[in-house]
Amino acid sequence: MTVKTKHAFQLLDGAYSIQGRSPIMTSKYNWPLVVKILTFAFQPIVSVRNGNCLGYEVLLRNWKEAGFTSIDEVFNQAFEDNYLYKLDLQLREKAIRNFKQLPGSSNLRLFYNLDNRVLEMQDYSTGNTVELLAKYDLPTSTLCFEISEKHDLTHKDQWLKPLHNYKKQHFQVAIDDYGTGFAGMKLLYQAEPNFVKIDRFFISDIAKDNKKRLFVSKIVELAHLMGISIIAEGVETQKEYYACKEIGCDFVQGYFIQRPMLDLEKLCLEYDHIAALAKRDQRKRSDDQWMISKEMKEILAIPITTDMFTVFEMFRQNKHRNFFPVVDERSTPLGMIHEQDLKEFVYSLYGKDLLQNRYSGKSLIDFIRPTPVADVTSPAEEILKIFTSDKDAEGIIVTRDTYYIGFLSARSLLNVLNAKNIAIARDQNPLTRLPGNHIIQDYVEGAIQDQVSQYTLVYFDFDNFKPFNDRFGFREGDRAIQMFADLLRKHFSQENEFIGHIGGDDFFVGFSNINFEESYQKVLQISTNFASSVESLYPVKNRSLGYIKAMDREGVLRRIPLLTVSAVILQLKVNHQKLPAGLISGTLAKMKKGAKAAADKICAASIAS
């Protein structure tokens, strides 16, 4: 007999009950009933570069309604009851069935949390998930198993065999909560994952925590070198998004993108607010992308499902080619296959026949070498850094949103960097090597067009520079200019900061997505530091006096204060008016008089909607 209760159901057959919050054992749990009550919320994982959705992680819900105190309790109890694998399979089907209802599911990935202990269960068997995906007409590469560091499996080698079996069946693998569990680098090495998910602990406040930035940046470098994509978990603020993007994370997940959704109709294929934030950086890097695309070779990629006879034929028909990229069913690169790795089988008596026998246990996936991967929108310098970290790399696999688009050889990469250096040198100020007027103008135009973000434009102008230059000569004047340029480089090096040299003693700085008080404090600090540092260019006597005697602009000899710098701050708020760039520049110039007359040498204004 079954009676409805407050939370779920109560079974009065003496075997099991769910009542209130705690399951009550009489013999064992009625797990099929638990599965019926449990459901999933979907949370998107999106590209940092354009807001396109890579896929969704499914997160267990209704565990309270099922009578449990936590998600962990559900799986711990199933493990104790020796029901963990059966429970997992039933939940997998529920997740896959819901996923299939989503628009575009055939081009998305389903991230599913795998309790590592499943691989230890006595009733574990292979092929079940392949059948489930086939039932819903989805390729195996749809499913990405998330392996947590929660349970220590580093000393239990038996879990490696089923994990590698998953990979041989073309499932994707992600290491979840990376950096907080038992396994660390050993799991990264042994699991050979497609994705690494950085734990929320390291993402929280990463914009202002240099230790976290350093830690995450090193993981990103290592992952990209191994051809692994990085997902930043728990991104909750715009600043965290920008920090993750600057460091080189490929994808982001968290409340800032979207909370986990039970209502699947609220999920999107594209997230416009992320796309808008990424636009400005795409404009800045469009030249790099054009140069990379120009030099990139579109080498034919081999699908992972290709049989070994066809692989041999491809090498035979392309004698000039000693390697091919290998991709999964969704054209995501898995690595490279090299001709020399097949020679052992080609030149042995029965080696070639053995490989062509599908029962031999060897397939294309057994010969794949990890290869560095970079997105086509990455800066050329970042791609070079990845390449030089692997002395054996023949080049870089180039992707667009994880899809393979080509290969960049060492020579091609050098051509890109050479062309970029020439372009940069053409637009640099010859004295300070900072971006000149052309690049500054592009930045201002971009800020005007981007109404989703908030920008702060700062114009710096030295005070009393002409008398200083006349008195001590052009060489000392150049030293003062270079000193200020060095201070700008030291203080403004973040992704959302831009510095330029207009010419002479005039400089420009741009910030995106910081509030007025923060930008004001940054400007005040640089002004104070310059006033202190520039004193070293004066004789000791003038330093103590605080002035020099020199001719003013009217030719009158008088006391001229030591060098300082005035600053004009113009804030472009979100949804600001799209004023002409010339009007913006004119406004900054007009405000200069107000700055020089102010006690703190700063004049500020804002442009609203």
Q: In a 3-state reduction of DSSP, which class is residue 142? A: helix
Q: Which two tokens stand for residue 153?
A: 């499996």
Q: Residue 534 has what DSSP assignment?
A: G
Model confidence at 200, pLDDT cuts 50, 70, 90, reads: very high
Dihedral sign (CA 75, 80, 85, 86): negative
24 vs 290: which has the higher pLDDT = 290
- For residue 199, which of 260, 162, 263, 150 has the smallest C-alpha distance? 150
- For residue 457 the two structure tokens come to 């434009």
Q: What is the pLDDT at residue 538?
A: 95
The pLDDT value recorded for residue 359 is: 47
Lowest mean pLDDT among 160-174, 195-209, 454-468, 540-554: 160-174
pLDDT digits (tens, 9 = 90+) for 468-503: 999 999 999 999 999 999 999 999 988 789 999 999
Name the average pLDDT for the chain: 85
Res 364: pLDDT: 87
Q: What is the pLDDT of residues 540-597, one digit of tens each?
A: 999 999 999 988 777 788 899 999 999 999 998 877 777 777 777 777 777 888 899 8
Higher pLDDT, 601 or 589: 601
- Per-residue pLDDT, averaged over 380-405, amounts to 85
Q: Strand (E) positions, 266-347?
A: 302-303, 323-327, 333-338
Mean of pLDDT values over 185-202: 86
**Beta strands across the sheet bearing 323-327:** 302-303, 323-327, 333-338
pLDDT at 348: 58
pLDDT (0 to 100) of residue 77: 92
% of the chain with per-residue pLDDT over 90: 47
pLDDT above 70: residue 108: yes
Other CB atoms within 10 Å distance of the CB of residue 383: 25
Site of tokens 């995501």: 332
Contact in structure between 408 and 292 (CB atoms under 8 Å): yes
Percent of the chain with pLDDT over 70: 88
Check whether 145 has a pLDDT greater than 60.
yes
Query: Quick one: average pLDDT of 349-366?
Result: 64
Q: Would you state the pLDDT for residue 442?
A: 83
Q: Which domains does the chain have, with CATH numbers?
A: 1-32 (no CATH), 38-284 (3.20.20.450), 292-419 (3.10.580.10), 428-607 (3.30.70.270)
Instruction: State the average pLDDT over residues 300-307.
Output: 92
Distance between CA atoms of 524 and 458, rounded to whole angstroms?
11
The pTM score is 0.69
Count of H helices and E strands in the chain?
Answer: 23, 25
Report the pLDDT value the prediction gives residue 109, as an integer from 0 to 100: 96
The helix or strand, by DSSP H or E, that contains position 36, with its residue range, turns out to be helix 31-37
Q: How far apart are CA 199 and CA 91, in angstroms?
A: 24
Whether the predicted pLDDT of 2 surpasses 60: no
d(CA 325, CA 294) in angstroms, rounded, equals: 19
What burial class does residue 403 get, using C-beta atoms within 10 Å of its C-beta: 0-12 exposed, 13-18 middle, 19+ buried?
middle
Give the model confidence (pLDDT) of 319-340 as tens digits. 888 999 999 988 999 999 998 8
pLDDT for 5 beyond 70: no
Instruction: Provide mean pLDDT across the span 521-539.
Output: 95
In terms of C-beta density within 10 A (0-12 exposed, 13-18 middle, 19 or more buried), how is residue 244 classed?
buried
Q: Check residue 361 and give its pLDDT.
A: 59
Q: Hey, what are 356's tokens?
A: 């062509």
Q: Report pLDDT for 345.
A: 67
Residue 156 has pLDDT above 70, yes or no: no
Look up residue 120 and give its amino acid: E
| pLDDT at 358 (0 to 100) | 57
Q: Look at residue 26 in the predicted model and tell me its pLDDT.
A: 39
pLDDT average, residue stretch 396-414: 90
d(CA 399, CA 422): 26
E strand residue ranges, 39-180: 39-47, 53-61, 109-114, 143-148, 172-178
Contacts 24+ apart (CB under 8 A), 201-204: 203/232, 203/233, 203/234, 203/235, 203/240, 203/244, 203/254, 204/234, 204/236, 204/240
Mean pLDDT of 439-457: 84
Dig out the tokens for 391 from the structure: 């002395």
Q: Which of 76-85, 353-362, 453-462, 580-589 is the least confident region?
A: 353-362
239-254 pLDDT, tens digit each: 899 889 988 899 999 9
pLDDT at 203: 94
10, pLDDT greater than 90:
no
pLDDT at residue 20 is higher than 80: no
pLDDT score at 356: 61
What would the pLDDT profile of 371-385 be if each residue is shown by its tens digit? Answer: 999 898 888 878 888
Would the pLDDT of 68 be above 50? yes
Question: What pLDDT does residue 360 have?
Answer: 55
